[in-house]
Amino acid sequence: MRAFFLGAVAAVAAMAWCACSGGLQQTPLPGIGSQPAAQPPAAGAQPEASDSSDDSSDEPPVSSAKAPASSAKASQAPSKPGHSSAQSARPSQQAAFHAVCPQDGSPSRRQCSSVVRVQPRRSCTRSAPYCASELQSAYGAATAARSRGRGELVAIVDAYGYAGAASDLAVYRKSMGLPACTPASGCLKIVNQNAHASPLPKPNNGSSDDWRAEQAVDLQMVSALCPNCKLLLVQANSDKNSDLAAGVNAAAALGAAAISNSYDGGEGAASDAAYSHVGRAITASAGDDGIARQPCSFTGVVCVGGTTLTAAPAGGWIERAWHSSGSACSALVAKPVWQHARGCAMRSVADTAALADPSTGVAFFESAGGGWQEAGGTGVAAPIVAALFALEPSAARTNAPAWLWRHGRKAPKFGGT
């Protein structure tokens, strides 16, 4: 049981981050065990020297503005895996990604952490946007996804309403060959920040602060890695810190084994009890700018950075640090006793990383935004890691960030800090 955890969660995406005395540096975690022996493990892949400053055209343009309404077609019919559509142009020639809900600068609010663009579904042929089977393969979770997770509850905490959550999830799961997960079956439950099924908040559509696409990404990424898990979507009244924190408390009260938070904002406190629940793996996105953010920097949170994922020519996968996500030192949160990163007098982030580079993004379906789309950003990475924690025994979730630092840096092949 523990061997799989070391291969998938402690090494969830090639790089955990630490601040070292000579400057910020990426520290690899143990490799993914299911890859062919001829291929170097994803966790062993070293970032290219240009990762921190690469401005080449291979990086898709990202716009901070919401996509214009005219770019979203009225409800595309989903295509199934294996039914290939025409290959698109290089990422730099495609439509720009846009931030799902850019922050207005208010210190009391959070922004969701994904960027998206309309992108027709392609066949699942190991090229982006990736589908569920490819994510399972890349993270060594294909066997576990079939056999584990039954009865485990994974919560998604986001802001505002999303009336299409169940129907969009149904399209994604059917297209990806995953079992159905519906409210009627009890697999999917949607509640407000007080843990009640009614009233649910209204969508914030028509504004730049529309979280529906983030909710779709989060639900569908958990589904991709843990298709047998039950899903809990907690919709906070707004993107205020206090509302989202209430949503996390609601998720914990309802018994979630893992709680994913794909949002971030500036640091404002040394601690927050809402983000510290013993026995729950709470993940949060680190943001896409290499700055310490909250809730990611809280001690009880697994802070998830980003990677670039590509298929190796001869099989297996190659994963590198994504240059838009990096390591940082908290200004407010004290260094935990279990953290050993050099160079940070305070808490260092991130703890681990998963796919986030938009140029190697994931496929997801959200009807209001144009149907099939491609997503990137650490808002994708946080639910991936939450799902992986749900596949494992509860002992790993007792203090999830401490578990990663304790086990992820004991791998003899890669050493640690």
Q: What is the pLDDT of residue 389?
A: 95
Q: What is the pLDDT of residue 278?
A: 94
Please report which confidence band the pLDDT of residue 91 belongs to, taking 50, 70 and 90 as the band edges: very low
| Three-state secondary-structure class, residue 144 | helix
Helix (H) or strand (E) holding 19: strand 15-20
Please report which confidence band the pLDDT of residue 282 belongs to, taking 50, 70 and 90 as the band edges: very high
pTM: 0.80
Please report which confidence band the pLDDT of residue 67 belongs to, taking 50, 70 and 90 as the band edges: very low
Tens-digit pLDDT profile for residues 302-357 = 999 999 999 999 889 999 999 887 789 999 999 999 998 788 999 999 899 999 99
Q: What is the pLDDT of residue 206?
A: 74
Cβ count near 413 (within 10 Å): 10
Given a cut of 50, whether residue 360 has pLDDT beyond it is yes
Question: Do residues 110 and 244 make contact, with C-beta atoms less than 8 angstroms apart?
Answer: yes
CA distance to 78, 104, 176, 305, 360, per residue, from 122 (Å): 10, 35, 12, 26, 13
Given a cut of 60, whether residue 398 has pLDDT beyond it is yes
How large is the average pLDDT for residues 153-178?
97
Q: What is the pLDDT of residue 294?
A: 94
Which of 3.40.50.200, 3.20.130.10, 3.50.30.10, 3.40.47.10 would CATH assign to domain 2-35+93-408? 3.40.50.200
Helix (H) or strand (E) holding 231: strand 230-236
Given a cut of 90, whether residue 90 has pLDDT beyond it is no
Helix (H) or strand (E) holding 348: strand 346-349
Peptide bond into 199 cis (omega under 30): yes
- Percent of the chain at pLDDT > 90 equals 63
The residue among 220 and 54 whose pLDDT is bigger is 220
Please report which confidence band the pLDDT of residue 94 belongs to, taking 50, 70 and 90 as the band edges: low
Question: Do residues 192 and 200 make contact, with C-beta atoms less than 8 angstroms apart?
Answer: yes
The residue among 21 and 295 whose pLDDT is bigger is 295
Report the range of poorest mean pLDDT among 39-53, 90-104, 164-178: 39-53
Q: How far apart (Å, rounded) are the C-alpha atoms in residues 351 and 282?
A: 12
Given a cut of 50, whether residue 81 has pLDDT beyond it is no
Q: How far apart (Å, rounded) are the C-alpha atoms in residues 417 and 10?
A: 15
Q: How far apart (Å, rounded) are the C-alpha atoms in residues 369 and 69?
A: 8
Peptide bond into 68 cis (omega under 30): no
Encoded tokens for 160: 């505002």
Please report which confidence band the pLDDT of residue 42 belongs to, taking 50, 70 and 90 as the band edges: very low
Report the range of poorest mean pLDDT among 67-71, 262-266, 328-332, 410-414: 410-414
Tens-digit pLDDT profile for residues 237-279 = 999 999 999 999 999 999 999 999 999 999 999 999 999 999 9
Q: How far apart (Å, rounded) are the C-alpha atoms in residues 406 and 401?
A: 9
Contacts of 18 (CB under 8 A, 6+ apart): 25, 26, 27, 327, 341, 342, 343, 344, 348, 417
DSSP letter, residue 395: G
Q: How far apart (Å, rounded) are the C-alpha atoms in residues 318 and 308?
A: 8
Domain definitions of the chain by residue range: 2-35+93-408
Q: Is 416 exposed, middle or buried (0-12, 13-18, 19+ CB in 10 A)?
A: middle
Given a cut of 50, whether residue 210 has pLDDT beyond it is yes
How large is the average pLDDT for residues 150-172?
97
Question: Do residues 167 and 367 make contact, with C-beta atoms less than 8 angstroms apart?
Answer: yes
Q: What is the pLDDT of residue 105?
A: 67
Mean pLDDT, rounded, of the chain: 79
Q: What is the pLDDT of residue 63?
A: 39
Report the range of poorest mean pLDDT among 148-152, 218-222, 319-323: 319-323
Question: Do residues 158 and 215 make contact, with C-beta atoms less than 8 angstroms apart?
Answer: yes
Tens-digit pLDDT profile for residues 98-116 = 888 877 667 889 999 999 9
